[in-house]
Amino acid sequence: MKKQLFILLAFLAISSLNAQDFKTLTYFVNDSTKLELDLFLPKTKSKEKLPLLIHVHGGGFSGGKREDGHHIAKYAATQGYAAASITYTLYMKGKKFSCDGKLPEKVKAFQIAANQLWQATLFFIKNSEKYSIDTNKIFISGSSAGAETALHAAFWDRNAMALYPEKLPESFKYAGIISGSGAIMDLNLITKKNVIPALFFHGSCDVTVPYATASHHYCPPGSTGWLMLFGSYSIYNHIVDLNGTANLYTFCGGGHEYSDELFAKQPQEITSFMARVLRGEKEQSHTIINTGKACAKGEYNFCE
């Protein structure tokens, strides 16, 4: 009997160690779509409501999964943040997303994903008491397509671009944004009125999502999928011109493989940035990191 009890207790202990440290929640449902997120919460309860990070994975709007954001969400939770990695509609799955794609389809992919990020945000606003969320301290982040999602969610006109009837409060504003190898379709979307603190990181030789200003995938004019994009370097300089808070990490010689770099390998940079924002610190900094790589012939190298 004692042996059986010991085995049972050992099994329960192992099960406890292997238990999921996140909750999977449905944040949006309609007749055709069901979307989930994985929510990580600090193990130590706080008397104060928690700041929140909502992360959007990459994958060219055709691949990836919310588990790809678990590393940053899990780390953020250890630093006192609630953190969620979301599922969103992979609208470009089975479609062409490069130069031979269709421009309206690319824009639609951005719009659907941004709207679903708004819905995830709305979910937490509605459930702020249940999960102890401070709705004035909601950050968004993303890698590659996820970064493009976050950037457009932060700066698009939410009324003009809305796809769903339920909308965020008119007065709502994200506390800040973290963008890994992302870009925005129009710098003029970012104004003195709506600018928020931003942290960017990007490879200087990225030919998938431009580091500065260029067409998506550097497509030649006349391509059916031609889309002008303003990358991290251009957005950083624009926010600096607006006298906003902005930080840029440039991985010199790096390509699109750096789109998850800080989230996966230096997550302390993410939580440190959010902490400084919450303390009200204003900063403008550009950190250049030499990767030891060089741009391929014909590629742009903004570090030279």
Instruction: List the chain pLDDT tens, one digit each, 304 residues.
Output: 444 544 444 444 433 333 458 999 999 999 999 999 999 999 988 889 999 999 999 999 999 999 999 999 999 999 999 999 999 999 999 999 999 999 999 999 999 999 999 999 999 999 999 999 999 999 999 999 999 999 999 999 999 999 999 999 999 999 999 999 999 999 999 999 999 999 999 999 999 999 999 999 999 999 999 999 999 999 999 999 999 999 999 999 999 999 999 999 999 999 999 999 999 999 999 999 999 998 876 566 677 6
Q: Are 96 and 66 in contact (CB under 8 A)?
A: no
CATH value at residue 269: 3.40.50.1820
The answer to whether position 232 is within a domain reads: yes
The answer to whether position 81 is within a domain reads: yes
The answer to whether position 11 is within a domain reads: no
The answer to whether position 114 is within a domain reads: yes
Q: Are 280 and 85 in contact (CB under 8 A)?
A: no
The answer to whether position 9 is within a domain reads: no
Cα-Cα-Cα-Cα dihedral of 27, 65, 208, 210, to 10°?
40
* Domain of residue 284, residue span: 18-290
User: What's the order of all strands across the beta sheet hosting 246-252?
Assistant: 23-29, 34-40, 82-86, 50-56, 133-143, 176-180, 198-203, 246-252, 284-290
The answer to whether position 32 is within a domain reads: yes
The answer to whether position 296 is within a domain reads: no
The answer to whether position 10 is within a domain reads: no
Q: How many domains does the chain have?
A: 1
d(CA 97, CA 219): 11
